[in-house]
Amino acid sequence: MKRRTFLSAAMATTALLPMLANAQTALPPAEPRDWSGATPLRYPDPDLIALDRSFQRYILFNTPIRRHHTGTLWAEGPAWNGVGRYLVWSDIPNNRQLRWIEDDGRVTEFRNPSGNSNGNTFDNQGRQISCEHGGRRVVRYEYDGSVTVIADSFEGKPLNSPNDAVVAPDGSVWFTDPPYGIRGNYEGSQAEAELPFAVYRVDPANGGISRVTDEIGAPNGLCFSPDYSQLYVADTGSGREIKVWDVDGSRLRNGRRHVQLTLPGTDSVTSADGIRCDVDGNIWAGARPGVQIIAPDGDTIGVIRLPEVCANVCFGGTRRNRLFMTASQSLYSVYVGVQGAGIA
Ligand code: MG
């Protein structure tokens, strides 16, 4: 009898081991904090959380997560302008773009109307590129102030609602086209989707548009690996995963799951929205409960916990070591121990 009891206990302990391993990655409880910045907090910032020792190098001991602005309805599309030293981002439902200026930290309304813009970036010449829900198009703002439509249709049918864009070294613009901007009248105008949800590439030489993949539920954020040999795309549709493809010139090959995120410490699947790579190849993803940092092998090694749902991120600042986070009603940033890959 005693022996059986012992065996049962031993088996129970063994069965618990995976749960314990999982529990170790659970986040410590959030402490209340004053996000206005009026009450300084004790370093290190308790919401910069290492889930793996390898993330420690990216946490700066003496820097806080800061909230720069509150007042948007749904914030996305942060992009850093290195010449102007400002961060532009979109307030999609309010049909405007805002700008946080590094000089003195003020925020101004940069563009209104914005065509319900979502993702923004800058090309290799510093020109702003924006994905518009309202116009169902991708546009480029030129030096003389005019607007060039880069893409608004494919094979004679209107795009759904371009969501996010990145620029390759050859000047090609790669963008995602899910239906989120036409599902209602809040972030754009309600309409029926006429094209599959897909990723496109705009050729820099002739402006031609090619569909590089539609093997994805609903493509959302995207980014290249630091050497541009791979393209990561967040699927917020049926897949709920980050997929990766090998970039072969103007084509994509060998699409596969890179990672499916969970809320750390649980089995609850969560999606990434916007993603950006750092120079070490880690992906910084807008994903509950703020930002998840995913090592090249797919492990989530750290979390930046925010009090709001974070959609998109980008690296900025003169040294590209400041992570900007557009999170629902607010804009946040934090200096980190690594630089962003790419220019915007
Ligand atoms: Mg997005």
Tokens coding 220: 């959302």
- 189-197 own/partner pairs: CB under 8 Å, 24+ apart: 189/134, 191/136, 191/158, 193/160, 194/157, 194/158, 194/160, 195/154, 195/155, 195/157, 195/158, 195/159, 195/160, 197/160, 197/237
Report the side by side order of strands in the sheet with 209-213: 165-167, 173-177, 198-202, 209-213
Confidence of residue 108 (pLDDT cuts 50, 70, 90): very high
Residue 104 pLDDT more than 90?
yes
Residues in the chain: 344
> How many H helices and E strands in the chain?
1, 25
Cis peptide before 289 (omega within 30 of 0): yes
Give the distance (Å) from ligand 1 centre to CA of residue 274.
Answer: 5
Q: State which amino acid sits at residue 4.
A: R
Instruction: Give CA–CA dist 154/293, Å, rounded.
Output: 34
Residue 26's pLDDT is what?
84
Tell how far the Cα of 171 is from the centroid of ligand 1, in angstroms: 21
- The CATH class for the domain spanning 47-335 reads mainly beta
91 Cα–ligand 1 center, Å: 12
Residues 271 and 289 sit within 8 Å (Cβ to Cβ): no
Residues 113 and 137: their CA atoms lie apart, in Å, by 14
- Ligand 1 center to residue 15 CA distance, Å? 39
pTM for this predicted structure: 0.92
Gap from CA of 165 to ligand 1 centroid (Å):
9
HSE on the CB side for 49, CA within 13 Å? 22
Q: In this structure, what DSSP letter does residue 163 have?
A: -
Domain ranges of the chain: 47-335
> HSE (CB half, 13 Å, CA atoms) of 84?
16
| Token output for 133 | 């829900």
How much distance in Å is there from the Cα of 285 to the middle of ligand 1?
A: 11
pLDDT digits (tens, 9 = 90+) for 266-317: 999 999 999 999 999 999 999 999 999 999 999 999 999 999 999 999 999 9
Residue 3 Cα to ligand 1 midpoint, Å, equals 58
**CA 190 to ligand 1 centroid distance, Å:** 18
Q: Given the structure tokens 């979109």, which residue do they identify?
A: 90
Average per-residue pLDDT in the chain? 93
pLDDT of 293 reads 98
